[in-house]
Amino acid sequence: MKYTSQIIENIKNYYNIELSQLIENDTEISKVEFYKNENKYSLDSNGNILKINLKNNTISDLEGFLQVSNTLTHLNLSGNRINKVNLINKFKKLKYLDLGSNEIKDISGLK
């Protein structure tokens, strides 16, 4: 859990945003949904970061999320300032990705 806390802190600092846990008792998470426009993340019972919802912020790249690219299954970055998706192939377990309402001009990462 200490490692997860450091990753969350790194993401918060990289993008200068607030990010809070969706459910306080992460040991009981089985299914999590995103609510409203709040910046949220969720963990599995092992403390791995599975879902991040950072829609409607000012995020311009995916680099800050590379630390969780091996565990992340859901990523909502709609309504940001992302202009290229060149790193998306690094997210091997990603099942849901929302990049709507961004400024994407380069889709070379979608192979």
- Res 78: pLDDT: 93
**pLDDT on residue 5:** 76
- Other beta carbons within 10 angstroms of residue 16's beta carbon come to 9
What pLDDT is stored for residue 48 in this prediction?
A: 83
CA 39 distance to own-chain centroid = 9
What is the per-residue pLDDT across 57-78, written as a single tens digit (0 to 9) for each? 889 989 988 988 999 999 999 9
**Environment class of 61 (CB within 10 Å of its CB; exposed 0-12, middle 13-18, buried 19+):** middle
The pTM (predicted TM-score) of the whole model is: 0.74
The predicted model gives 72-86 an average pLDDT of 91
- Name the nearest CA neighbour of 106 among 52, 55, 60: 60
What does DSSP assign to residue 65? G
- Residue 94 corresponds to which tokens in the numbers above? 């990603």
Instruction: Write the pLDDT tens digit of every residue in 14-61.
Output: 787 776 665 434 443 333 343 444 567 777 777 788 889 888 888 998
29-58 burial code (b ≥16 CB/10 A, e <16)? beebebeeeebbbbbbeeebbbbbbbbebe
**What's residue 85's pLDDT?**
87
pLDDT above 50: residue 88: yes
pLDDT given at position 91 = 92
Decide if 76 contacts 98 (C-beta within 8 A). yes
